[in-house]
Chains A and B, each alone.
Chain A
Amino acid sequence: MSFTRSAAIARTTVRLVIKDPSVTIIMIVMPLVFIAFLKPSLEAQLEQQGYHGASGAQLGVPGLAVFFAFLSIQTVCMLFFREHFWGTWQRVRAAGATGLELVVGKAGPLVAVILMQMAVVFLASAWLFDYRVNGSLLALALLLLGIALCVVALGVLVVALFRTLDQAMVLGNMGGMVMAGFGGALAPTSTLPGWAQAFAHVTPTYWGIEGLRSVGLDGASVVDVAPALGVMALFTAMCVAVATLRFRPTDTKVGST
């Protein structure tokens, strides 16, 4: 693998994200809008759970940040598929880029973008909604990194599996929403049916959201969130493994069937 080529692809990916930041901005603004609406009811839930006087943001921010991070799978899909529409995928390959260099060059900046997106949501929530981190900041940062890696790995897997953008967008968005929903982004998992609670435990979103909430509310440390980090690392590794088996740089990708 050539670092130079991956870096060149990564720089181009960054340029493309900067030229069209609309989706990233929406994914930052929307969770903040939702928190503004949900904060009072979330505070009531926290009171019931024994967190007296805690801001509703402590409960809402992790779930909504993760929910919108998983919706960013569409950004991952779009950046790969666009290269095919623009005819640049073939050109970059002719310039010697291997499949691995292409994936690293595109996925690397996207991890940073999604990480930044969630970080901005947390920072803005601290400023606007009195969100506080009672636990380890390093644990928080590692959890956010783990979630960003899960999202990008799942996005690359979707790109590897589907030939058309239509398929990838529908399946990517649905998959992201389902995982976020089961993981407790929209409602605490304790309020879900038993089968849904059982399923939640195999989703990375559950572990990510629970980890973030425990850092925010319970003062969790890196050691405390290690199981969550482990599950997310495992999920990422599984996505990468399947994507590696299915990803063919020679495949033709199109907009619709």
Chain B
Amino acid sequence: MLLIEDVHKSFGAHAVLRGVDLTVPAGRIVGLVGSNGAGKTTLISIATGLITASRGRALVGEGDAADVDVAADRRLASGLIGLAPQDLGIYPMLSVEQNLVTFAELAGLRRKAARAQVERVVEALDLVPQLRQRADTLSGGQARRLHTGMALMHRPAVLFLDEPTVGADVAARHAILAVVREIASQGTAVVYTTHYLTELEDLGAHVAILHEGRIATQGTVADLVHANASPSIGIVTSGERPELPGWIATPLVAESPPAGALRWEASASALTADTAAVLADALSRLGTGTTLEGVDVAPASLESAFLAITGHHLAADATTPEEAKDVVHA
């Protein structure tokens, strides 16, 4: 179990974390998400003892206990913690086996136990054929799997995976996600950061959103989506501009859009639970001079919930003032 209590961290005058509280019980996967620079890696570094908090503490323990203060007892804590950092961390000159054995030995595993664990990890991560291969000859996906596997060698009680699928191909991503599920099912508390929010949906993870130095909200994917996200309905029209109250139009950006093409998106105020009715109403308002070029409906997702919680919206994402002006409110 991992327990983070009121953790603050400042670098000079810049406060990165402003009172983070987070609990990850044994067997749970918590997806820690946030924008770039939100402080995810800083929080993980504190929770793994790599840096110290300005205030607050991180506790880890076996099962439902959280009785080891990471900063106060690094030696004991390190035996309970596994970390696969964001940046690849492998010995390129050593073989897959030697990389894994190194971390087994660091955790104090005896030769026989280390070999058995190497076998388990390479099998789980589909690296058996590469066992004796030098790490610098692995593909990007294989290297990512090895990088993750090195964190699993001592069967940690709390596992931190910081963007483990960056640069991984589809097969590697599936293998990593499968291993994460397996590890959690065996009682490991997993903290998983990613920008690919669909991975958290795949993992059935709880989600904690780190925003402005604090956990803005947390819960299951379903809870967060239900409370914060709306489906998205869009239509593309050309020709005569229709009157669509509550819909937001933006000029269509494409290589050769039809003349006067606009993409319309139902605003939050126009959306109701019955997305089909909202869409039907909009279509009924299209006059004969308007051509319907396309329709897209996206269900409410973790991504839309994240964007709603962190305050991102279309105008804010525009990169230039001109782009921002182009957002036409109907």
Contacts and interface: CB of A to CB of B under 8 A. Distances in A.
Interface stretch (B78-86, B120-128, B219-227, B315-323): B78-86
Contacts, number: 73
Contacts of B102: 8, 11-12, 15
Contact of A86 (B83, B91, B98, B105): B91
A7 B110 CA distance: 12
A19 B135 CA distance: 12
A50 interface: no
Nearest to B93: A19
A5 B107 CA distance: 7
Interface string B255-281: 000000000000000000000000000
A95 interface: yes
Contact of B74 (A7, A20, A88, A96): A96
A87 interface: yes
Interface residues of B, number: 29
B48 interface: yes
Contact of A15 (B78, B83, B98): B98
Contacts of B108: 2, 4-5
B51 A12 contact: no
Interface residues of A, number: 25
A94 B91 contact: no
A5 B93 contact: no
A30 to B, nearest CB: 23
Q: Residue among B87, B90, B105, B107 with the most chain A CB within 10 A?
A: B105
Contacts of B85: 87, 90-91, 94
Contacts of B88: 87
A250 B105 contact: no
Contacts of A19: 93-94
Interface string B65-79: 000000000110111
Query: Taking chain B's interface residues, is the majority helix, strand, or loop, or is none over half, making it mixed?
Result: loop
Contacts of B50: 90, 93-94, 250
Contacts of B39: none
A16 interface: yes
Q: Residue among A91, A97, A98, A250 with the most chain B CB within 10 A?
A: A91
B116 interface: no
Contact of A2 (B75, B83, B151): B75
Query: Taking chain A's interface residues, is the majority helix, strand, or loop, or is none over half, making it mixed?
Result: helix
A5 B81 CA distance: 15
B89 interface: yes
A92 interface: yes
B106 A9 contact: yes
Nearest to B44: A94
A250 B50 CA distance: 7
Contacts of B77: 96
A15 B89 CA distance: 17
A86 B106 CA distance: 17
Contacts of B164: none
B79 A96 contact: yes
Interface string B37-51: 000000000001111
A94 B108 CA distance: 14
Interface in A231-254: 250
Contacts of A4: 105, 108
12 contacts: A9-B106, A11-B102, A15-B98, A15-B102, A16-B94, A87-B87, A87-B90, A90-B50, A93-B50, A94-B81, A96-B49, A250-B50
Interface of B: 48-51, 74-75, 77-79, 81, 83, 85, 87-94, 98, 102-103, 105-108, 150-151
Interface of A: 2, 4-5, 7-9, 11-12, 15-16, 19-20, 86-88, 90-98, 250
Given A87-B89, A96-B75, 9 more contacts: A2-B75, A5-B106, A11-B102, A15-B102, A90-B85, A94-B81, A94-B85, A96-B79, A97-B106
